[in-house]
Structures are given as C-alpha cells and as structure tokens.
Structure 1
Amino acid sequence: MEKVAEILAEASAEVVEPRFRALAAGEVMEKAPGEVVTVADREAEVIIARRLRELLPVPVVGEEAVAADPALAEALHSEPAVWLVDPVDGTSNFIAGRPDFAVMASLVRAGQTVAAWIWQPIAGTAYAAELGSGAWRDGHRLTRTPAADSPAGWRGSLKSRFLDPAEHLRLRTNAAVFGEVTAGRHSAGVEYPQIVDGEQEFTFYWRTLPWDHSPGSLLVSEAGGVSARLDGSGYRPDPPGCEDGLLVACDPHTWEQAREILLGRRH
C-alpha cells in the first residue's frame, strides 16, 4: 500500500506539480471534443504505469492510454488483475490553476476494486483504502459518522452534465429538499474524500469512467459509506460506456433516502 502511494507522489512531484500554474504554450491539447489533456497527464501516466508494472506485472488501464486506444479498457473484463490510473483527475482545474485535482490509482481483481490510492498534491494529503481492511487519510483510519436525520441538513452535489435536459431538470427539482446542492468540484479525487471527511453527505454522478470512480468508491465504502447504482447494485469498475448513474453517500440510510428523493419517490 505504501509503495503505490510513493509512486503517485513521486510522479506528481516530478512532472505534475512543476507545471501547476506554469503550463507553457502547446502543453494543453484537445484529445476529444470538449476533452482536454496536458503534457503533465501524459508524462505522469507513463511514469506511474511503468512503476506499477514493476510492482505487479499486470495490464495498466490508464485514462490517456485508453483515449488513444479504447480497446485497452476491455482488460477490466478480460484480465484477472488490472491497474487503473488517472494521472491528473481534474485536468480542467489543473489547467485553470485551481488546486482541486488529484493523482489516482487502483488495483482491480476479478472485476472488483481491491485497493485504491488518491494523492492530492496541493493539499499534500494522501488517501488509501484496501478491501475489507479499511480506509485511511495520511495513515489515520477513517470512519465516517452517519448523516443527520433530516435531508434539509445534507450537503451534496449532482454531476449530471451528460444527462438529457429533461432528466437533469427532474433531478434538480427533486433535489430541492436538500440543504445544499452544488455542481461539484470537477474532480472525483476531491469529491469522494469530501464525503469521508464529513464535508458532504452524498454525490450523484451520471458518467462513471472507471479511473475516476474506482478509487473513491472503495474509499467511501471502506469508511462506512455506500457507492452503488440506483438499482442498489454495488459499484464495479466497468469499461467506459458499460454503466452510468452512480449514487455515493456517507452511510446506508442516507444512500437509501437520497435515492428515494432523487427518483421522486418520497413525498
């Protein structure tokens, strides 16, 4: 567990942090319509992937490698074990000079996340989780206390950019009963830790790319929370396009109530 955390922090220090608020002309590119990438993303992924393979020689499914060759993501279904890597989660924040970004990795065995790491470079904070063993922040075990009884006191976020407009409006309307609902921080590596740290009670995501959600889902689950599809099935890191719609909450009761509210079943 400690070795992977070191790999992420060292790669970040080598090629990501020196470019924070210092990206040169030509170091930001469009990899797909509406999707940007930087040289820091690409260089960090190469470093992290190489060092993870030295640690455990299994395929690496990295966000930038999959952008170049989408077929690589099928290893999540075809291989017994896979590393998942998000070299800069929150690239738009990184480009804009905002500190809300993270470097993340997870280990997937038989289609289930068994270990996860999140490094927040600007905060200097490391999160880790191991299936069945717990979750930690900077080496200290995390246990999230349950939310208050009334949803009127809950804070959450709706990440519904990729929903059709009618469904987006329905979710926003139903969510009016919550105390505070934002559009999130544009980085799963910041948003999931907000739940285990007590800053939010829930988050709803529509698009669920595996490198974004595998680390945080395990972190929340091992701290006592829930990361599950709206039908109640637990999160599993599938290739892009396989599954969408994910509700994350700080405890099982909050998850159930938040689902009923968002689906319009609670009156």
Structure 2
Amino acid sequence: GLPLFATMAAVVSGGETVAGIIYDPMGDDWVMAEKGGGTWLRRPNGEAMRLQVAAPLPLAEMVGMASVAYMPAAARPLVLQNTNKVRLLSNYRCAGHEYRTFVSGHAQFMSYNKLMPWDHLAGVLMSQEAGGYAARLDGAPYLPSHVDGGLLVAIDRDSWDVLRREVFTF
C-alpha cells in the first residue's frame, strides 16, 4: 500500500481554531499554522518554507480531492456526474495528506461531508492561512463544533462559488 497517513493536532480557544499541525512521519516533516501567521512547511534541519494555495484556474482545469462516501446517497450520482466538469478528482483517503497537497499549491479544491474535528480543524486553518477559502456547503463558516453539513475548501471565494454551483450541488 501507499504510506499515506499523518498525525494531526489543533488548538481551539474561544470556540475557534487558532493553531494546527500535520506531521508526516514518513517524510519526517510537518505543516503548521497559527491564526494570523501563515502556513509553513518545516523540516527537521530547521528549514521553513511559507506555503500558498494555487493560483485560480477555470473550472475545467481544476484538480481536487473529494469523497462521495459520506454524501447523501441520493446526491452521489449527480455529484459524480458533475465531476466531469473538472480536470481531475482524486481521493487519498487521508485528510492530512490532502490538506498538505492543497496548501502546497497542488490542488484547487477539496470537499468532505463527514466533518470530524480531528480530520479538519488543523487543515481548514492551514488552508485559510495559505490564502484559501473554506465554508460549509450552506455557506456558513466551519467551526470546531460542526460534524456535519459538508465542507468545501477552495483556493478563493470565487472558485468556491463556482464549485458549489457546478459540482457540489446537493
């Protein structure tokens, strides 16, 4: 199999995520963010690199990650049909590596329907600190207390709006 697993942790204060880390034990490096401080890749030798989301692209050229497994059964066929509007859709089955890929500028979007805090708090903060836009599918901000309602993360608000209207239509 592929060694795609990660350790994730987040700090919540006053009902909001204020810090997060995603550690890759195989690569022995970590991505971390602190609210207002950007998103950084850090290596064991002390090297640090600030991360930014990818530049905007038209819908037909977007690459992203999503799973339909936890979407409402009635919505799955339509969402799967709609994914032909993007260039590529993949799923690592590891939110930690998907967030690392996104904040490193290698994807334009991610979507999840099961919102366990250990899978998303750190990654959503990192995405926002790297310049991305994240919100639940109803447009409301994603908060640590949310465990359902769907989540769409995109490189910017305009891309989020297009993806919500054209692909994630349930």
- Structure 1 length as normaliser, TM-score? 0.59
* 1:210-255 deviations in Å (ceiling 9; x for gaps): 010001000000000012101222211126xx42300011222211
Unaligned runs of 5+ in 2: 43-47
Larger radius of gyration between Structure 1 and Structure 2: 1
Name the CA distance, whole Å, in 1 between partners of 2:145 and 2:55.
29
**2:87 corresponds to:** 179
How many residues align? The count is 165
**Distance apart, 1:162 and its partner CA:** 1.7
Query: Where has structure 1 moved over 4 Å in runs of 4 or more?
Result: none
Q: Residue 15 of structure 2: which of 111, 115, 127 is its match?
A: 111
Out of 63, 70, 88, the position equivalent to 1:162 is 70
Q: Which amino acid aligns with 1:141?
A: R
Q: Does the alignment pair 1:141 with 2:77?
A: no
- Return the letter of the residue paired with 2:138: D
Which one-letter code corresponds to 2:73 in the other structure? P
The structure with the largest helix share of the pair is 1
Where in structure 2 are the equivalents of 1:89-108 lying within 5 Å?
97-108=1-12
3-state SS of paired residue (2:74): helix
Matches within 5 A, 1:35-50: none
Q: CA deviation at 1:110?
A: 1.5
Secondary structure of the equivalent of 2:113?
strand
Question: Following the alignment from structure 2 to structure 1, what is the Cα–Cα distance between the partners of residues 149 and 140?
Answer: 12
Matching of residue 130 in structure 1 with residue 38 in structure 2: no
Could you tell me how far 1:260 is from its partner in structure 2?
Answer: 1.1
Superposition CA RMSD, Å: 1.7
Give the aligned residue type for 2:25: P
Query: What per-residue deviation string (whole Å, max 9, x for no partner) do you get for residues 133-178 of structure 1?
Result: 1110112211224222x21111112212122322111111122110
Query: Which one-letter code corresponds to 1:146 in the other structure?
Result: A
Corresponding residue to 1:238 among 113, 136, 145 = 145
Residue in structure 2 matching 1:260, options 152, 165, 168: 165
Alpha-carbon distance between aligned partners in 2 of 1:172 and 1:127, rounded to the nearest angstrom: 31
CA deviation digits over 1:28-48, x for unaligned, max 9?
A: xxxxxxxxxxxxxxxxxxxxx
- For residues 222 and 263 of structure 1, what CA distance do their matches in structure 2 show? 24
Deviates more, 1:200-209 or 1:138-147: 138-147
| CA 228–264 in structure 1, closer or farther in 2 if over 3 Å, else same | closer
Give identity over the alignment, percent.
Answer: 35
The residue type paired with residue 59 of structure 2 is P
Letter in 1 for 2:29: T
